Structure 1
Amino acid sequence: MSRSIDLLKHRYLKNIKENPELFVGIELEYPVANLEGFATDVEIIKDLFHYLVSALDFIVEKVDDFGNPIQLVDPISQDAILFEVSYTTIEFAFGKAETIQEVENRFNNYMNVIQRKLGESNHAIVGCGIHPDWDKNENCPVAFPRYRMLMDYLNLSRNVTKSDLHHFPEYGAFICGSQVQLDVSNSNYLRVINAFTQIEAAKAYLFANSEFSGADWDTKISRDIFWEESMHGIYTENVGVNTRLFDDEDDFFDYLNHSAIFTAERDGQTYYFYPIQARDYFATPEIQAFALNGDEVIISPQEKDFETHRSYQYQDLTTRGTVEFRSVCTQPLGRTFTSAAFHLGLLVNLDKLEAYLETAPFFKVFGRNYKFLRRQFSKKKLTDQEETAIIEFSKDLLLLAEKGLKMRNKHEMIYLQSLKEELGL
């Protein structure tokens, strides 16, 4: 087995349990908008973080290069409130919970405090997958090595000549997602990844919320284009919908071995470089890397560089023994937990989901190119045939999700109500 696959297996399999308890991990990213229609005032949001330390009894976990709090954590629940890439995006990363209701209650408490404070300065958190004022904001990274490195790395796209890449490398500062992590086991993680890859078309239809005014893109999910046609998407295996279903563990890790490494630390300094596929990393004796101050240095690959490896696939096996579902845009505030409930219900009802997907009428008509189907069904206007088919597919999945939530018996079906009404169920 190759050295790179060994390292990837160690990283991603070491925390998977055989029979894990099922917990829910939810991460919500939100734009903070200026309600007067101007650029977001980042000083107001930095002040908010100072205020939250006392108002919510959180402790400061990370500060930026100027000493401003950028990540706060509640020592009891392990909930974190942080800046995500830029000072105009706030993320709530909730500690693992047994039910969605627990997370919702804490979220509502935080939001009451935050929205009231922001409202004093005519700002507010808004439920959009793209910052509504992306074109007015500076879109600068938080002054912190990881975020500065990410934005500098994305900026390399300006130098990539063959370019099918888009011209918005600063997109990391203004796209927002709603992610859920669910515990998986040794025996089901591949089944989960494969099943959820197959439903990306329905998720595109149900959860699209990132139309972009800055380019003529026929999509309601510009986040897909931002990810896939950026530096992160130079290797297709690195990002988005998996291009195939996996036969077994070796097949999956062969795919992951095609994902990219683009950053490394040496002597406490963060460096980035043009992406190298994991499988080629150790065969690259000299890597031309860039420091955050712009200096160019030559580094050699080291095994420890795999400790910061991450891919950006929409069904993402994490180092925590979970699969993270990454494809959903931030949802309107009235539907914050709909996506989490949808994923949770389907995971609990995995056997029935797999059986349904084997014979689903939707695939007989539209085929099984899952990456293509997601793009197809996130278009701004569907044909009547497409609309009818995707609604039927979505209804079937929603009923399977609802059954899964009923099996859990934790009264979480309520979170699917808005989707049911939308689909006429």
Structure 2
Amino acid sequence: MIILAIVSNLVLWNYEMNQVDWEKIKENISITNVEDGIYSSWFVAQSEYVVTSGSRTNGDYTGTQTIDGNYESFSETASGGSGETLIDGESFEDTWPPAGWSATGNWAQESNYAHDGTFSADFDGSGGGESGYLTSPSMNCLGTDAITVDFWWNDRALDDGDFMLQYYDGSSWNTHQDLNQEASGNGWHHYTETLTDSQYFVSDFQIRWFADNVWSGESAHVDEVTVSKDSSASVYSLDLNGSFVIDLGTYPPEDIKSIEIYLRFRADDAGENWILKAYNLVTSTYSNVGFNSTEGYTPTLGWDYYAVEITDGWQNYVQGDGTIDVKLVDEGVDSIQTEVRIDFLGARVKTYGTRCTFQNVGGLTVHLVSLWITNSTDHQRYDINIYLNSAETKPYLRDDITLPTGGYTVKVVTERGNTAVYSGS
């Protein structure tokens, strides 16, 4: 009787091992994709776009909130063929700073010196030196042959290098003139110049006055600013801005890695290049500095997808309440009037973390219990607890995992001991 019991137990134990082996063989899993970063949902326009050049022809902003075939249409309008005044004798008499202008540092509206009226824009130095910018509004100078800049400025004990005139070419600021070298000595000086350098014939040309390290007892003043443009032929342009509000409560700044801006649009002219920019809070301009792509997009006449990602210095583009202001503008304008239909325009954030996509192509439910991230110098193991039914594909997000730079391997292990491996770089 004892011998028979032992034999019976041996047979039962052997059957159980075969069952486990059979189930292990039947498992079949794979890692289909591994992504660095986790994307939020889209943040879309909640109010109408501001068209600074061009016109709205059909629909409204709600047509741009989802990719669904509903769209908002815009058309280019003609400019050029004659002179146009862009800033008309701004003498800083009313609201400070004037509409569209910005001022940093010690720039202020003051009445101690004025060339015209009661006030001027004044920068007083102090202590061991103060610095700040007085920046004009953005001006559309596309298709222009010449830009005339005219203003008065007052020198009070300034040194060379203290007071600089700078121009914005659509992507960067250029120091154009050290004003103290152009005309020195206490008192008012008249500056006038006609620009024919085509790098400034852009949709967002700007001027700024840079007071740099101005000491106590030194000051600079600006008054009666006039800017005009002149062109010999009419060209068509479109320039529009929209505001998008990122939910910083759900996606706090310390968790944000980058910001993506995405556009689905259709243009009926394939001869122009379109570019996305955002308002840079540091430079007070629409810019694409820090974008992963700055060359823009040339349409195909069909529905096109155009995306950019702010990968470097995204904080310079997002206000404290999460607002990011985005501009769509044509570059390389021509004499053809173009209609643009926008089906979708939105922004989303990419947070730190990793997304793995697992697929079960076997006939059994699998239980994933561990995840390995390895490269040539580091091996990290993470506990996971994921059940995957037969034929199921499931994404898995981990905000505490950052993929290493260069080549890496991701391995997932099931409870039964099977593995799947993904290699990336």
Q: Is TM more than 0.5 here?
A: no
Q: TM-score, with normalisation over the residues of structure 2?
A: 0.25
Larger Rg: 2
Higher relative contact order (CA 8 A, sep 6+): 2
Compare the two structures and name the one with the higher strand fraction: 2
